[in-house]
Amino acid sequence: MSTIRDAVERVPRPTVFVLFGATGDLAKRMVLPAFATLAAEGLLPKEWVLIGNGRGDIPHEDFRDHVHKALSEFGPRPKKRWWRDFEPRLLFAGGGFGADDPGSLLDVIEQARSRTGEDPQLVHYLAVPPVAFGGLTEALGRHGLVDDARVVYEKPFGTSPDTFRTLNRTVRRVLDESQVYRIDHFLGKEATQDLHVLRFANEVFSAMWDRDHIESVQIDVPETLGVDDRAGFYDATGAVLDMLVTHLFQVAAEVAMETPASLGAADLQAAREKVIRAFRPLDPAEVVLGQFAGYREVPGVAPRSKTDTFVAARLWIDNPRWRGVPFLLRTGKRMADSQQRVSVVLRTPVCPFPGLPEQTNLLSFSLSGTGEIDLRLLAKQPGVGLRVEPATARLPLSQLPDAEPLPPYVRLIHDVLLGDRSLFTRPDGLSAVWKVAQPLLDHPPRLATYAQGSWGPARARALPAPQRWLLGE
């Protein structure tokens, strides 16, 4: 545990934070609120400047107004206590940024460096569509902005095996791997991190974390939300690329990885990537794709779109610990409920109690919010008889003594400032992910329509057989 504690207690160096796509939806909803939260909590370095970059040429004051409106909508609401110091550190560099034309960014970076009063570290955050990653990376190298810099790439890092390989070659030409931070905000969630902490720090769970004791694992992320606010992006991406090959595969690796040699970044990443290489390539016959009724009527969606808004898959891990244990992954838009839950289903024991219900011995993690752990087991119902009933013990992580939970983007941006790469993905793991997904991408199953407010296509119910989905069934 000391590795993580020491990283958090370090003080970030003076920083110039360059936010590409600063006026876009992702920056407005996630990155700017996370950065402002760090400021409000006193977790930024003493000297810092945030530079927004975009194609438009707007005055610094207008960008500050834009940030103020974004925070008023998505939080934290600007308060005089910290906004008076925060606002003047916001600058804007217009004219875009490319290898042939840097716009005004170089001049504004020099202005920011003079404000910090010291030689600051450069952090470039690419909150732009994946198609822009390669060109921006080459431009950073062309204009000398990569020395001692860190570059944050949003997901997905490539949208196919070919685009991943092309982008990875570009990044390797310009940057050292130690400078690269490929973000997957599911890894920054408090409960995701607690998956391996609970297991490795508690012998009661560590001893049963294998195929002899675990019947199946369910990773279930249904959403009631639609795609109205980002229809153009989503229609070019879909549930498989937006969620399955990014978030759900990474969470599966957190559950399944072997004990790392240490909690240092290199050892955690190595353990995560090693188990991903053991993932068996998906069998399209074990995948269900769906599209909610009415999706094609959403403004911005192609009239004959075949984009999947739902995916459920059975994943197998071919190593001694997990061979034969199905990992059941499911996510979709416009479903009956919104949850983010990992459920480790224990095998029903052989015991003298007849007729025990299945799937009642269960360790469950809610990844939503600050996180929660549930342990469901069978207990004797008080009374004169011998009646066995399910019971649940619940641990909200926010109620642990001195808990100071951070939202995932806040935690991950703070880690970037500190240079801690523990919760970021590596290219070898991503390469393995694309190999796992390749059969599905080459031969996707027929798309099924499902009703809004349902639990997805009917044929997805058969994937957990002979068991059932724990949510919604």
Average pLDDT of adjacent 10-residue blocks, the chain of 473 residues: 42 94 94 97 95 94 98 94 96 97 97 90 95 97 97 92 96 97 92 84 92 97 92 91 95 95 88 96 98 97 97 98 98 97 88 68 90 86 79 85 85 96 93 96 97 97 93 85
223 annotated binding-site participant: yes
235 annotated binding-site participant: no
197, 199, 203, 206: CA torsion to nearest 10: -150
Do 377 and 361 meet the contact criterion of CB atoms below 8 Å apart? yes
242 annotated binding-site participant: yes
- Cα angle for residues 254, 184, 132 (degrees, 5° grid): 150
185 annotated binding-site participant: yes
| Whole-prediction pTM | 0.91
- Determine the pLDDT at residue 28: 95
28 annotated binding-site participant: yes
Handedness of CA 227, 232, 235, 240 (dihedral sign): negative
Show the tokens assigned to 97.
Answer: 């940024």
Pairing relationship of beta strands 310-315 and 327-332 according to DSSP bridges: antiparallel
Q: Which helix (H) or strand (E) holds 315?
A: strand 310-315
143 annotated binding-site participant: no
End-to-end distance of the chain based on CA atoms, in angstroms? 39
Domain coordinates in residue numbering, the chain: 2-154, 187-462
46 annotated binding-site participant: no
274 annotated binding-site participant: no
Only one residue has tokens 């070659």, namely 169
126-135 in b/e burial notation, b at 16+ Cβ within 10 A? bbbbbeebbe
- Determine the pLDDT at residue 360: 79
289-324 in b/e burial notation, b at 16+ Cβ within 10 A? bbbbeebeebeebeeebebbbbbbbbbbbeeebbee
Task: Name the CATH superfamily housing domain 187-462.
Answer: Dihydrodipicolinate Reductase; domain 2 (3.30.360.10)
Confirm whether 124 is a catalytic residue: no
Only one residue has tokens 């969470």, namely 251
Handedness of CA 244, 248, 250, 255 (dihedral sign): negative
> Which CATH number applies to 2-154?
3.40.50.720
Which residue in 60, 247, 414, 443 is the catalytic one? 247
391 annotated binding-site participant: no
